[in-house]
């Protein structure tokens, strides 16, 4: 069985509704998944934008949300997530804070990659890691990966 990641708010490759962006209340979208492989000890969620700042000439990948040590029995995150599943820890996004920060592209239409990883271990408390630190800790422990891509273009400057 293949691990799958989806959202009731937008289809894969579809437009992310404004409510999950800086042009709305900037709340986290609902996410759901299935097919977590046997032997998984934890899950990691990374949401990032490889098109920053300008999709015509991207120079960085902007990190929007980092969650790790999600229990493998968890199968969804509610819209506007207010409390994390037990044991779940957060990393720092590129606004230098924990938590979800929604799309807010300065120019053009950007792609937002929601990546879910199943790991064969529970990671130690990394103390609010960056994406690079989290990915380093994950190395050699990934059993499966699922991806959901949404797009967004601001409607006002």
CATH code for the domain of 67: 3.90.280.10
Burial degree of 97 (CB within 10 A; 0-12, 13-18, 19+): exposed
Mean pLDDT of the chain: 97
In this structure, is residue 156 part of a structural domain?
no
* Amino acid 157: pLDDT: 63
Q: What single-letter DSSP state applies at residue 47? A: E
User: Domain tally for the chain?
Assistant: 1
Mean pLDDT of 46-61: 96
pTM over 0.85: yes
State which residues form the domain around 79. Answer: 4-142
pLDDT at 156: 76
pLDDT tier for residue 115 given thresholds of 50, 70 and 90: very high
What values do phi and psi take at 138, rounded to 5?
Answer: -75, -20
* Rounded alpha-carbon distances, angstroms, from residue 74 to 2, 6, 31, 63, 139: 16, 14, 11, 23, 22
pLDDT digits (tens, 9 = 90+) for 67-114: 999 999 999 999 999 999 999 999 999 999 999 999 999 999 999 999
Note whether residue 153 is domain-resident. Answer: no
154: in domain: no
More confidently predicted of 64 and 1: 64
Query: Is 157 a domain residue?
Result: no
């Amino acid at each position: 069985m293949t691990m799958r990641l989806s959202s009731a708010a937008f289809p894969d490759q579809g437009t992310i509704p404004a409510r999950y962006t800086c042009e709305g209340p900037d709340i986290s979208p609902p996410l759901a998944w299935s097919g977590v492989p046997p032997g998984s000890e934890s899950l990691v969620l990374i949401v990032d934008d490889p098109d920053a700042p300008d999709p015509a000439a991207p120079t960085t990948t902007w990190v929007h949300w980092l969650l790790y040590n999600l229990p493998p029995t968890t199968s969804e995150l509610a819209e506007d997530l207010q409390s994390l599943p037990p044991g779940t820890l957060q990393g720092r996004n590129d606004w230098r804070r924990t938590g979800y920060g929604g799309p807010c592209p300065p120019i053009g239409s950007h792609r937002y990659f929601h990546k879910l990883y199943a790991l064969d271990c529970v990671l130690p408390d990394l103390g609010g890691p960056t994406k690079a630190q989290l990915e380093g800790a994950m190395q050699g422990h990934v059993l499966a990966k699922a991806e959901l891509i949404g797009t967004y273009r601001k409607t006002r400057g």
